[in-house]
Amino acid sequence: MRQKWGQNFLIDKNIADKIVSSAELSKDDTVIEIGPGKGILTSFIVPLVKRYVAVEIDKNLSEKLKSKYSDYSNVKILNENYLDIILPETVKPYKIISNLPYSAATVMIDRFLPLNEWTSAIIMVQKEVGDRIIAKKNTKSYGVFSILTQYYTAQEFVLECGPKSFYPQPKVSSMVIKLTNKFNPLLDKSLITTIKTAFQQRRKTILNSISNVLKKPKKEIMHILHLAKIAPELRPENLSFEDYKSLTFLLKKYRII
């Protein structure tokens, strides 16, 4: 069944109720649920919204949901891979609710983060991924994913739940986070490249990391860091988003990236 897609079924109805409640749904809302599985969240969402669209990759599960909700005019079940689908204009804007599969959570989040067609997302992810989403600079969990998520969204911790809330039981705990879209412009590709370059060798200083990955003399990188007012002994997780913006501007100016 669903395990082949890296998913564990949520079975705790109390947790499901709290997840849906945190979305603050209204009769005017459209909700996209990514990977509804057996529909434990679906049963709470459908009575509350104007339109509900499920995107379920598992054909067997999607057929069961279609059968269960065949008499509901506000429900549409799509047997599709969320990573491939293009949602019609008629469902926009929408809210996202999802118990994301552990194996594909970051990829799925990366896909919807830059889009301006959604307003908020309630996502359940592996606790490690949740920690990375809400991590602040100067912490071990802070990295590329943290910076990108925090640029595009405001984050709010909702709850944490253990393995017993799922079947089959995972070996790790899960975290539910609410993301609110900031509708920021798309990030410059050069800025993303700078951030990813720095974190390729996150245990090294920012000087060594940038110099090693870009294969540029330390003297050149030292000069740029000085102009950007970034101490060369800092590590990638010690830099803010604004630091990376300044660094990118100067790396481009001196034609290093």
pLDDT, tens digit, 9 for 90 and up, residues 171-194 = 999 999 999 999 999 999 999 999
Q: Where are the domains of the chain?
A: 2-181, 189-253
Q: Do 2-181 and 189-253 share a fold?
A: no
Among candidate residues 80, 77, 102, 98, the one with its CA nearest the CA of residue 3: 102
Question: In whole angstroms, how far apart are CA 192 and each of 52, 102, 212, 238, 240?
Answer: 34, 24, 18, 17, 13
pLDDT digit string, tens, across residues 198-211: 999 999 999 999 99
* Helices and strands (H, E) in the chain, number of each type: 10, 9
Considering the chain, what is the average pLDDT of its residues?
96
Q: Which SS3 state, helix, strand or coil, does residue 15 take?
A: helix
Distance CA 138, CA 3 (A): 36
Amino acid identity at 18: K
CATH superfamily of 189-253: rRNA adenine dimethylase, C-terminal domain (1.10.8.100)
Q: Which residues contact 128 (CB under 8 A, 6 or more apart)?
A: 141, 172
Contact indicator for 98, 23 with CB cutoff of 8 Å: no
Token duo for residue 238: 């010690």
This prediction has a pTM of 0.94
Contact indicator for 250, 220 with CB cutoff of 8 Å: no
Q: Which SS3 state, helix, strand or coil, does residue 7 take?
A: coil
Contact indicator for 32, 96 with CB cutoff of 8 Å: yes
Average pLDDT over every residue of 161-177: 96
Q: What is the pLDDT of residue 7?
A: 72
Residue ranges of alpha helices (H) inside the chain are 13-22, 42-45, 59-68, 105-112, 127-134, 144-152, 189-199, 206-214, 218-227, 241-253
Among candidate residues 243, 248, 83, 109, the one with its CA nearest the CA of residue 178: 109
Q: Answer whether residue 102 shows pLDDT above 70.
A: yes
Contact indicator for 65, 88 with CB cutoff of 8 Å: no
Residue entry with tokens 């749904």: 25
Handedness of CA 206, 208, 210, 213 (dihedral sign): negative
Q: What is the pLDDT of residue 143?
A: 98
Distance CA 154, CA 169 (A): 30
Residue 2: band (very low, low, confident or very high) from pLDDT cuts 50, 70, 90: very low
Q: Which fold would CATH assign to domain 2-181?
A: Rossmann fold (3.40.50)
